[in-house]
Structure 1
Amino acid sequence: MKKLNYWILLLVAAMLMPALTVQAKGKKDKNVVAEQTTGAQDREQWVKWLWKISYPVIHNLAEGTLHQNMPIETVGGDPAGYDEITHLEAVGRTLAGVAPWLALPDDDTEEGKLRKQMQEEVLKGLKNAVDPNSPDKLNFTKQAQPIVDAAYLVHAFLRAPKALWEPLDEVTKQRYIESFKALRDRTGAYNNWLLFTGLTEAFLMQQGEKADQFRLRVSKNKIQEWYVGDGWYSDGSKFSMDNYNSYVLNPMMVAMMETLVPFRWASQKEYEQALRRMVRHAEFCERLIGPDGTYPAFGRSVTYRTAAFQSLADAVLREKLPEFIKPAQVRCALTAVHRNMYEGNQNFDKDGWLVLGFNGHQPEVADGYTSTGSLYMATLSFLPLGLPADNPFWTDEPADWTTKKAWKGEKIRKDYKVEY
């Protein structure tokens, strides 16, 4: 009898072994959502991931070693031409994402100490970036690409004026203003690029400069004209199915309109309409996140990674989520996405710089205009870190997001076209 029991136990163990092996393997699988965590734990992880992405750019700019140390990876392998533009890309895009976090008041927490350190290095780096004697002076005068990334830098100043703009000395401020005005001798593509010029001109107006009214008017009017409905803009005269509604169109349209309202270049009604459209687009972004924290890689510029969720992150930061989307479900969804992307090192080289790809080193999916600096738009999904730690986004109990509930067969809200 004992011998029979022994063989039964062996048989059961043999049957269970594959399942146990898969289970053990699953714990290491980067696409397996970890055990449920608290909002405080999530925030700690977000800070770690944002630091991991952004610190090489910020620290090297502060030290005057960005041009020296940042690699320039391109699809073709030749850095020629990209070496004039990729550093401004890295700086503008990084700061647009970290700005709300840096805007929080100082505190003595471990997070607060990190934030203070980063802010000090950012301010030092911002001075270097326009100092004619700095080895890291950024290019605003050659090629058209600086039109794009000056606007991301402007967006950072608009998101954190007291942390990033007001502390700059007057000489440095004036150097930025002249750098932004110098962009007027070039034009870019007749699509989302119009918003880059519009946002920059709006900022110049805010700073008491005389804006290029034609550029501003064309930007505002054409983007409004290109709205196709349900939270989506056409990227030019023809619609493109990609993530540019999050990368650029919705968040920058809202920022531009918001900046123009006090000068009566946009009405409060126009600003609120743009905001409603972004919030509607944010609903789609939330539904794009799968139950396991993955999302589809479609359209051009997928190498911008989690910037695909800027509309959602911006709506969270502004505390404008629809009442049927709970802050905690977005926190949990974005935590799952960030974990899949940034917990491992598949998206970083040995020195911690982002590599071309979607989720790994996949240079074949990069576009011809993409280089290492382009990738730092990834920080834009971390905007909710600008909410204090005691905000409901961080303190509410964990909650499932829409697709997770849908695939579990739970009750979900019916979705339908919205007219704005």
Structure 2
Amino acid sequence: MTYDPVSANPLHGNPLKSRADVEKALHDLFNPLLPFFSEGGARVRLDGAAAHFDRAAADLEGFARPLWGLTPLAAGGGRFDHWELYRRGLANGTDPEHPEYWGTVNSTDQRMVELAAIGFTMRLLPDKVWQPLSQQAKSNLAAYLKHARSFDYADNNWKFFRILVDLGLEECGVEFDRSLTEKYLEELDAFYLGDGWYRDGNVRRIDHYIPFAMHFYGLIYAALAKGDDKRVAAYKERATLFAKDIRHWFDEDGGTLAFGRSLTYRFACGGIWGALAFADLEALPWGEIKGQYMRHLRWWADKPIANRDGVLSVGYGYPNLFMSESYNSAGSPYWALKAFLPLALPADHPFWTAEESKAVTDDAPIPLKHPGMVMMHTPGNVVALSSGQQNWQMRHGSEKYAKFIYSSRYGFSVEVDERAYNMGAFDGALAFSDDGRHYRVRENNEVAQIAGDTLFARWKPWTDVTVETWLLPASPWHIRVHRITTPRTLHATEGGFAIERADLNADTYIDEPGSGAAKSETDVSAIVDLAGQREGRAHRPYPNTNLIASKTIVPQLRGEISAGTTVLMTAAMALPAGDAAEAALRQPPEAPDITELEALFAREGVDVSAILVPERF
């Protein structure tokens, strides 16, 4: 037998049905880290890859991030045998004279991020990490935290990190300057858009940082703050509204929408459900909240997400540095342990005693104005039609934010060679080339609107080329209409959903005029030209480009775009293999009337919230 990489996943084989199962999962995830703690306990270094910040900060990341799970475990009465290791690490990491000192914060710094977990732990477990320390160690730790919080935090969810440190200092009786505490809370409130949605700073994007950061930290604050009743009530009210929308980012099997940055945090995406429980907030029926939470953990249990030693890899569905961010060190994936917040709750809490209920899905499309999405639930999948957002700071920002479609089952792909137009995956995207080698895709929008369950965007791949795109649900298909105005001839490639490819090319590939399709053992994906005769192909892009499957097939339509104005109309879909998929293949939707689409947006179109922020360069 050959090595099965799934077997290294610490969640593999765990039924993840009960509180005891979740507690075991946490231990199984943490224990592989023990050999990598430094002698003084302050640093955890897992491999030689680098992030943009210094090595000391990366080592602190490896040390601190497991606390997001270990702290709730102990707060809920669970056993953890290594608190002495953590006490030693806290003492040495904050001692300027010790060789494992974490380094001094002198500006906005990654250490600020990681210190939030320490503040959280000091708030919940002072008897574990504060009271047993020597007076000198207490003084060093307090001084380190107070010094770090004297600098400006990034103007986004980072402001919560200072608030969490404040909670810890307050619990441990440390005096500190509170002048910025209220100011930061007010600035965080300024990011609130309405209907439960925030943005993560003054940016043109709304992604998983809303559930696993803005609401996650807000609900922790709501559970732990003292004497801020008005804000606590607001946080709970917003989270209640948000839960009704964000459940549609999860499919019936527990998979979540693969969209945006920081997806290497994996099951942190399910942290919103645990945070609702931690704050004792029944935003949805407890059975639904528990079902969303447990299904999400189970979804990860059969993925090869760990290295051979059981250490979580950078990647998503498998180890993959292509999709990583510049701020991902080897310790970064352990923000996934934020999902274990409910372990702070006793076994008789209604979250744990409730029977799981099925996911709430809807046959009708669900429009979400703030992120500019229309959600479609299909078997084992949720699809987001996306008006497109902007992120020029992140690696592969266009792929993570500006495709037309995103999916939980099929993920999305990142491009790995900007000089290989013919090999591009371009799933969920429309790519143009004017030389057959380089290409342009959507990076941002001039306009992004929603009208009912239909989306519109206007964007420019070049300054002299304009594309107007309408997206329409037609479940299980969706329709894309593109009106392209160009002064010169271009070539265009448009992709459908990427599905997993078998070894030895043991799949069915359909290349026809006007359509491309692929059939694997598990899935069917197709793209159809509803107006015109672009050439169809079932394309095999470079390996390790898709977030979920390391080798994929992407049906594409390809053809020349003449100078002037051209209208393209496309339908695409992907379904699990079976009779329903075959029936859908035989019944693609009809082309819409572009005049009616224009009239719809003239009458009902409203701006997508994600676009309503000034651009930053």
TM-score bracket, normalised by the shorter chain, equals: 0.7 to 0.9
> Helix, strand or coil for the counterpart of 1:372?
coil
Tell me which protein shows more strand as a share of its residues.
2
Match of 1:24 in 2: none
What is aligned with 2:285? 325
- Aligned partners of 2:128 and 2:245: how far apart in 1? 32
1:90 aligns with 2:51: no
Show the 5 A alignment for 1:176-255.
Answer: 176-184=141-149, 186-255=151-220
Q: Paired residue for 2:343, among 368, 385, 396?
A: 385
* Code of the aligned partner of 1:330: I
Greater helix content: 1
User: Deviation of residue 132 (structure 1)?
Assistant: 5.3
8 Å contact 1:97–1:156 — kept in the other structure?
no
Q: Is the 8 A contact 1:355 1:372 kept in 2?
A: yes
Residue 30 of structure 2 aligns with which residue? 54
TM-score scaled by structure 1?
0.73
What secondary structure is seen at the aligned counterpart in 2 of 1:321? coil
User: What letter matches 1:325 in structure 2?
Assistant: P
Distance (Å, rounded) in 2 between the aligned partners of 1:220 and 1:402: 33
**8 A Cα contact 1:92 1:153, kept in partner:** yes
> SS at 1:363's partner residue?
coil
- Give the residue type in structure 2 aligned to 1:71: D
What SS is found at the alignment partner of 1:49? Answer: helix
* Residue of structure 1 aligned with 2:18, choices 36, 42, 54: 42
For residue 205 of structure 1, report the CA deviation from its aligned partner: 4.1
Q: 1:288 to 1:68 in 2, by over 3 A?
A: closer
Out of 238, 249, 254, the residue aligned to residue 277 of structure 1 is: 238
Structure 1 pair 342–128 and aligned structure 2 pair: CA distance change class (3 A)? farther
Percent identity between the two aligned chains? 25
| Contact kept in structure 2, 1:305 and 1:378, CA below 8 Å | yes
Give TM-score scaled by structure 2 length: 0.51
Equivalent residue runs for 1:68-217 within 5 Å: 69-74=45-50, 81-105=53-77, 115-131=79-95, 136-141=100-105, 144-184=109-149, 186-217=151-182
Is 2:280 the counterpart of 1:304?
no
Q: 1:127 to 1:295 in 2, by over 3 A?
A: same
Seen in structure 2, the aligned counterparts of structure 1 residues 359 and 404 have a Cα distance that, compared at 3 Å, is farther
Over the aligned positions, Cα root-mean-square deviation in angstroms equals: 3.4
State the 1:146 CA deviation.
0.7
Instruction: List runs of 5+ in structure 1 lacking aligned partners.
Output: 1-27, 106-111, 409-420
Equivalent-residue separation in structure 1 for 2:80 and 2:167 (angstroms): 29
Are 1:335 and 2:294 matched, yes or no? yes
Aligned partner letter, 1:400: K
Superposed CA offset, 1:116-147 (max 9, x none):
42445444544444355665443453661111
Which structure 2 residues correspond to residues 4-19 of structure 1 after superposition, within 5 A? none
Q: How many pairs are equivalent?
A: 357
**C-alpha displacement at 1:351, in angstroms?**
2.3
Query: Cα–Cα, structure 1 residues 186 and 381, in superposed 2: closer, same or farther, change >3 Å?
Result: same
The verdict on how the C-alpha distance between 1:217 and 1:44 changes in structure 2, with shifts beyond 3 A counting, is: closer
CA contact (8 A) 1:285 1:311 kept: no
Q: Which has the higher contact order (CA 8 A, sep 6+)?
A: 1
Q: Which runs of 5+ in 2 are unaligned?
A: 1-5, 364-376, 380-617
**What is the alpha-carbon distance in structure 2 between the residues aligned to residue 54 and residue 140 of structure 1?**
27
Equivalent in the alignment of 2:249: 288
Q: What's the CA shift string for 1:349-369, capped at 9, x where partnerless?
A: 122222111121121221111
SS at match of 2:260: coil
Q: Secondary structure at the match of 1:228?
A: strand
The answer to whether the Cα contact below 8 Å between 2:118 and 2:165 also exists between their aligned partners in 1 is: no
Deviating more after overlay: 45-54 vs 117-126: 117-126
Give the Cα separation in 2 of the matches to 1:65 and 1:198.
26
Residue 342 (structure 1) shift: 3.8
Q: Partners in 2 of 1:194 and 1:374 — Cα distance?
A: 19
Q: Distance in 1 between matches of 2:182 and 2:271?
A: 25
CA distance in 1, matches of 2:130, 2:272: 24
Q: Cα gap change, 1:252/1:395 in structure 2, threshold over 3 Å: closer, same or farther?
A: closer
> Letter of the aligned partner of 1:130 in structure 2?
T
Alpha carbons of 1:133 and 1:354: their partners in 2 closer, same or farther (altered >3 Å)?
farther
C-alpha separation in 2, matches of 1:374 and 1:140:
21
Which of 330, 334, 357 is 1:376 aligned to?
Answer: 334
Mark the CA change 1:352 to 1:261 in structure 2 (over 3 Å): closer, same or farther.
Answer: same
Greater CA drift, 127-136 or 374-383: 127-136
Partner secondary structure for residue 18 of structure 2? helix
* One-letter amino acid of the structure 2 residue matched with residue 217 of structure 1: E
Question: Alpha carbons of 1:254 and 1:68: their partners in 2 closer, same or farther (altered >3 Å)?
Answer: closer
State the shift of 1:206 in Å: 4.4
Contact 2:119 2:169 in 1 (8 A): no
Contact 2:116 2:161 in 1 (8 A): yes
Aligned counterpart, 2:312: 354
Which whole-Å deviations, capped at 9, do the CAs of 1:201-246 have from their partners, x for residues lacking one? 3443444444333422331111112211122222223352211123
Distance 1:99 1:202, change over 3 A: closer
User: Deviation string for 1:37-75 (max 9, x for gaps)?
Assistant: 7x8x5333322322232234456448546747521434x
